[in-house]
Structure 1
Amino acid sequence: MTDTEGVRLQKALANAGVASRRVAEDLIVQGRVRVNGVVADQLGSRIDPEHDLVDVDGVAIQFDQSKRYVVLNKPTGVVSSMHDDRGRPDLRQFTREWPERLYNVGRLDAETSGLLVLTNDGELAHVLAHPSFGVTKVYVARVRGTVTARTISRLTRGVELEDGPIAADKARLLDRSAATSLVELTLHSGRNRIVRRMLAEVGHPVEELVRRQFGPLHLGTLPAGKARELTTVERGALLTLARREPGEPTPPGDDRETP
């Protein structure tokens, strides 16, 4: 690229909402900005926002303002589809305020609630859903019976299911009574209804299940049935995850599966 082609790096960063142009210049001079993996510490640097990959402090920057990223707290009773041919409640009711045609990244079964990502970025959706990226997710399940430390250990050591062995990345007991227990599981499996099947296998069928985290995204206090756009920080974290090479270690808390 010549000295007159493309967009000045500090202007591109300012246009992307990273910081003011003056602060963006400081970030560049401090060596905190990379273009295609190479530190760009010269203020005269120019980029092609459509093709160059830029990150600041290791966090990916999105220049394409046509891309939309939404997090939804999916209620129970809703299928993870933009159109259900059986007439069941689907995801369209939660996307009406956005003009773009959004699609869900991965699925949650109808009786599972919690965090679901909606986007019109097909490339990112494909990467995040691909099992080779091992995106982890965190679930909280209310199950029947009193879960013991031995049961938690068994979940992390692994259980044998009809389609092969499976182990939780992490498991912990949050609360318990004589009738029910609250268990948190972290998984990166993409197998169908895997959370429910694992807990049933150890003798504790699921009564309620919610996904609290998807990769770097947290459900937080978002009410059931509500959706919001990702913040700049969240969007950067998600895009950073999507730009990893398959097999690279993932940040805690993300996955692709259908519990």
Structure 2
Amino acid sequence: MANDPHKEDGIRLQKIISQAGLASRRAAEDMILQGRVSVDGKVVRKLGTRVDPAKQVVRVDGERVEIDEKAHIVLALNKPVGMVSTMDDPDGRPCLSDLLADYPERLYHVGRLDVDTSGLLLLTNDGELANRLTHPSYGIEKTYVARVHGEVKPFVRRTLLRGVELEDGPVKADKFRVRDVLGDISAVEITLHEGRNRVVRRMMDAVGFPVRELVRIGFGPIHLDRLQPRGMRRIKGDELRRLYDSVQL
């Protein structure tokens, strides 16, 4: 364990559990004595154990407790077309910092969306979370909706699920479906865990359906839902716990 849970600074473990709304202070003490609470993966049974909320992971019955929402910020942003996925831009284009005036903390963008792609982008001040969400070993799925010209035949789905060869190596979709067809425009949904540059556009080019419009609607357990362009919302509660669980934090 990187930090000793028995040290004198920090917040008492039963207070953390009660402040999270999981139990009263007395019931939280019972949980600890019953061995239902762990800190950094180790069961803690000693009442009065103190926790560093910025650095340590508390779980009750295996479920992560979000112990300090101010310590770890995670935001979902609907990035509009034309905005670059950086905090500043030497060419003066709109960038992420334009939307973050209310957040003095240093926030990292989790991966990128190219300037012509809109949709879900995550921002956080938790560097370890950002690293794990983008590391290939965790296989975090990203879901996109692409609009293309023409009718997308069944062979396209088969080809993308089997895999296509790109200039930087093979890639395949995890899921693919046609969502709807309006005139000569088809909307398709594609899910993959790859994070290569413009990979969805290049995959669709490879099967003869260049993308006219691309929106990311899902990143792991987080979904765009009704978030409007340039809109942001704080990820918290059960949704935040699912995000941390997806990368084993």
Q: Tell me by how many angstroms 1:79 deviates.
A: 0.4
| Equivalent AA in structure 1 for residue 138 of structure 2 | F
What TM-score comes out, normalization by structure 2 length? Answer: 0.86
* 1:30 CA displacement: 7.1
1:150 and 2:155 equivalent? Answer: yes
CA distance 1:131–1:150, change in 2 (3 Å): same
Moved more, 18-27 or 131-140: 18-27
Aligned CA-pair RMSD: 2.5
* Mean CA deviation greater in 216-225 or 92-101: 92-101
Higher RCO, Cα 8 Å, sep 6+? 1
1:21 to 19, 24, 29: 24
Picking from 69, 73, 82, the partner of 1:77 is: 82
1:25-50 CA deviation, whole Å, 9 max, x = no partner?
5655776533333455x472624335
CA displacement at 1:238 relative to structure 2: 1.9
Deviations 1:10-67 (A, max 9, x none): 212234x343534645655776533333455x47262433554212343333434332
Distance in 1, matches of 2:39 and 2:12, equals 12
Q: Which moved more, 1:118-127 or 1:47-56?
A: 47-56
Aligned length: 242
Cα separation, partners in 2 of 1:28 and 1:153, compared to 1, 3 Å? farther
Percent identity of paired positions between Structure 1 and Structure 2:
48
> Contact 2:12–2:51 at 8 Å: present in 1 too?
no
Q: Give 1:53's aligned amino acid.
A: V
Which whole-Å deviations, capped at 9, do the CAs of 1:146-194 have from their partners, x for residues lacking one?
0112211111111111111111011111112451111111111121100
- Check the 8 A contact 2:7/2:50 in 1, yes or no: no
In the TM superposition, 1:82-161 aligns within 5 A as 82-161=87-166
Q: Please tell me whether the aligned partners of residues 25 and 43 of structure 1 are also in contact (alpha carbons under 8 angstroms).
A: no
Residue 10 of structure 1 contacts residue 43 of structure 1 at CA under 8 Å; is this kept in 2? Answer: no
Decide which of 50, 55, 62 is 1:58's aligned counterpart. 62
**Aligned with residue 10 of structure 1, among 3, 14, 25:** 14
- Provide the secondary structure at the position in 2 that maps to 1:81: coil
8 A Cα contact 1:18 1:24, kept in partner: no
Distance 2:224 2:88 in 1: 24
Mapping of residues 162-241 of structure 1, within 5 Å? 162-241=167-246
Instruction: Give the deviation of 1:228 after TM superposition.
Output: 1.4
| Paired amino acid for 1:133 | Y
Give the direction of change, closer, same or farther, for the CA distance of 1:212–1:2 in structure 2 (3 Å limit).
Answer: closer
TM-score, structure 1 normalization:
0.83
Deviation at 1:73, TM superposition (A): 0.6
Name the SS for the 1:67 alignment partner: coil
What is the SS of the residue equivalent to 2:72? coil
Letter in structure 2 aligned against 1:21 = S
Unaligned regions of 5+ residues in structure 2, if any? none
Assess, with a 3 A threshold, how the Cα gap between structure 1 residues 27 and 206 changes in structure 2: closer, same or farther.
farther
Deviation at 1:4, TM superposition (A): 8.2
Structure 1 segments unaligned to the other structure (5+ residues): 245-259
Q: Structure 1 residues 34 and 198, CA, compared in 2 at 3 Å: closer, same or farther?
A: same
